[in-house]
Amino acid sequence: MKYILTFILLVAPLLANENMEFEDDFLNSLDEVSEIATKTKLNIDDTPSFVSVLHSDKLQKLGIDNVFEALRLVPGVQLKKEISGVPVVVFRGVTQKGEVKLMIDGVTINNSYRGSVYYYLDFPIEMIERIEVIRGAGSILYGSGAISGVINIITKSSQNSSKNKIFTSAGTYNNYKNGAIISTNLENFKLTLDGYYQKNNKTVKESDRHLKDYSIGINIQNEQFEFISRIKKSDIGNAYGIFGVVDEYNDKYNNKNNSFFTQLSYKDNINKNNKINILAGYTNYEQIAQALHTSVATVDANYKENSYFSEISLISTSLTDNELLIGAKFESSKTLQSEWFLNSTQINPISDPDLDRKIYSLYLNDNYSVSSDLDISAGLRYDHYSDYGNSYSPNLGIVYRLNPEIRLKALYSHSFRAPSWVELTDVKLSGYPDLEAETSDSIEMGIVFKPNPNNILRVNLFTSKIKNMIAKDSTGHYVQDSQNHFYGSEIEYIYSPNTKTELNFLASYIKAEDEDGNDLADVANILASSSLTYEFDSHFTFGSLLRYVSSSKRSTIDPLEQRDDMKDSLIFNQTISYAFKDFTASLIIKDLFDAGTNYALPRNSNDTDFDDDGRGFLIKASMEF
């Protein structure tokens, strides 16, 4: 109750003044524009997909520090951590790895090894312009892995108007971060370099949660060409261990992830009705992990893969009232190294070192304006995988503008996830049946109500079934003989009574069941948050964030073991920011009332709570020039 009373006391006096005049740029900012759903710029309420756009400047006023924390402010998204401390983003109750596609400046981060993306979730918010998110399926444009969501991190370096910036922060657990974004013009090209380094020595209940992480990026662009490249290296502690043995050594057992990508793209108008986009790139991923096994043996794993890709797409408006997208993509991935050692003795790796994969993709999507009030979107994607077969991904969407204040939306989509190389290797060695792609059929319906410029309400319902689910059986091997059902609703309300105040309220109800109707573990039924930003004067801004996550069924090592419920959580964060000209400083208090966060993760039969600590402090400063 103290959290709610605190939030009400902060909100009530600030919302009393609704009569201030609106500025034109403020009104325009309420119409969010995104390319993630159609690869063309559209108001997010005019696309049948359900899209959220998170802006860095607003996130920083609420004390958000990285991508992982930012995704809390997306309806239907639950954050959790694995036993090893690895962060996981759960979209609409889907907890398996590889079900969410993550991109940075349009380049896919998911690896073929496990489909993992966690090593980019700590990317600093200071480096980001905005985060665009599809809630729900997105395979029509993005292929495998876009079953429950798509995330595109758009960096400041990719923006034409990016300013020079330096930033620093320090906080609890000797947490510190430093970085910079530097741009210059070279004749017709803009050159931007960015980079950061962050570190902490976090330890909770003797478990090592340390972080060492840095990234360096380059962006060169003009009106037609863009070259981007980024290297990112991270080193994190193993927390309660990959095998359930607590990591008590800050400098001995680590999970290191190294990622590198580069991409060259060309965009131009063939004529006034046709636009072409050609790109080619390369990605490389490496993991070096050390951990203790339950037999008190030392396990070392070394893995590396690379991928080459090229894509061409055409956007045409030659047909009256149609916007047609046609594209083709080729990708070739290969394992470069896959080795596992037990007490320095080499054993069978969990991923076959000889695996490679070639993917051929074709996609077509058309947005047809039947009238000024009705748009219909229809598309089809075909993917051929050299290591398992073919997949088709159709979709059909409708947007109907009932009147200037109300939009109705509906979407059907079919998506898929190709088996990861770890999964394919396991069934090969165990003699289990070959794996097919997981497939998802989803139906979504929603309403957007915008009665005036300072109020907007979005409500949607969703249901999806994922067939051929790939999961471990009681013996620890991957099998594919079940389907899961997900359904629920999401509400988003934004209230901006004036240019100084914005109140956001998000609430989601999620029901995730297996084919027998049993609740899936680690999925909270209710997610809710309220955030308030208020500019007290030209210098001070207050940001408050209240987040609620309901209880969930605890996961267990033995699938036949009786499961109890994890407790719910209610966390309150408070941020105070000071700005003077181009300088900004912030004091952030996370979990102000020291409630703590627990995750429903199994370790052993006597100790099942995963404690992620409580109150923390952070001081930030940045300057643009």
Confidence band of 5 (pLDDT split at 50, 70, 90): very low
| Beta strands in 536-597, from DSSP E residues, in sequence order | 540-549, 569-580, 583-590
Check whether 359 has a pLDDT greater than 80.
yes
Check whether 13 has a pLDDT greater than 80.
no
Q: Average pLDDT of 269-290?
A: 96
Q: Average pLDDT of 599-625?
A: 76
Check whether 26 has a pLDDT greater than 90.
no
Higher pLDDT, 294 or 392: 392
Distance of CA 225 to the CA centre of its chain: 27
Ordered DSSP codes for 81-114: E-TTS-EEEEETTB-STTSEEEEETTEE---TTT
Check whether 438 has a pLDDT greater than 60.
yes
Instruction: Please tell me the predicted confidence (pLDDT) of residue 2.
Output: 54
Which tens digit of pLDDT belongs to each residue from 556-570? 655 555 566 778 899
Instruction: Please tell me the predicted confidence (pLDDT) of residue 556.
Output: 63
Check whether 15 has a pLDDT greater than 80.
no
Higher pLDDT, 10 or 485: 485
For the record, the structure tokens of 354 come out as 């000889």
Confidence band of 205 (pLDDT split at 50, 70, 90): confident
Q: Average pLDDT of 578-602?
A: 89
Residues linked to residue 501 through DSSP beta bridges, in sequence order: 498, 534
Across the chain, what does the average pLDDT equal?
89
Q: Average pLDDT of 29-39?
A: 65
The region, left, alpha or beta by phi > 0 then psi within -120 to 50, assigned to residue 324 is beta
What the chain holds in terms of domains, given with CATH numbers, is 2-624 (2.40.170.20)
Sign of CA dihedral 473, 478, 482, 487: positive
| Residues in Cβ contact with 559 at an 8 Å cutoff, skipping those fewer than 6 apart | 473, 474
Instruction: Please tell me the predicted confidence (pLDDT) of residue 558.
Output: 55
Check whether 10 has a pLDDT greater than 70.
no
Higher pLDDT, 470 or 410: 410
Which tens digit of pLDDT belongs to each residue from 146-172? 999 999 999 999 998 768 999 999 999
| Residues in Cβ contact with 404 at an 8 Å cutoff, skipping those fewer than 6 apart | none
Of 116-130, 240-254, 319-333, 416-430, give the lowest mean pLDDT range.
240-254
Sign of CA dihedral 587, 592, 595, 600: negative
Instruction: Please tell me the predicted confidence (pLDDT) of residue 259.
Output: 97
Helix/strand/coil for 423: helix
Q: How far is CA 110 from CA 65, 68, 103, 371, 487, in A?
A: 22, 15, 8, 39, 25
Of 186-200, 313-327, 406-420, 592-606, give the lowest mean pLDDT range.
592-606
Check whether 3 has a pLDDT greater than 70.
no
Instruction: Please tell me the predicted confidence (pLDDT) of residue 50.
Output: 92
Distance CA(409)–CA(402), nearest Å, equals: 10
Q: Average pLDDT of 19-34?
A: 45
Of 175-184, 514-523, 585-594, give the lowest mean pLDDT range.
514-523
Of 284-293, 410-419, 472-481, give the lowest mean pLDDT range.
472-481
Distance CA(376)–CA(385), nearest Å, equals: 30
Confidence band of 118 (pLDDT split at 50, 70, 90): very high
Confidence band of 21 (pLDDT split at 50, 70, 90): very low
Confidence band of 249 (pLDDT split at 50, 70, 90): confident
Pairing assessment for the beta strands 569-580 and 540-549 based on DSSP bridges: antiparallel
| Beta strands in 205-254, from DSSP E residues, in sequence order | 207-208, 211-221, 225-236
| Residues in Cβ contact with 138 at an 8 Å cutoff, skipping those fewer than 6 apart | 36, 37, 49, 101, 146, 149, 150, 413, 415
Instruction: Please tell me the predicted confidence (pLDDT) of residue 494.
Output: 96
Check whether 36 has a pLDDT greater than 90.
no
Pairing assessment for the beta strands 478-479 and 583-590 based on DSSP bridges: unpaired
Check whether 24 has a pLDDT greater than 50.
no
- Rounded to two decimals, what is the model's pTM? 0.93
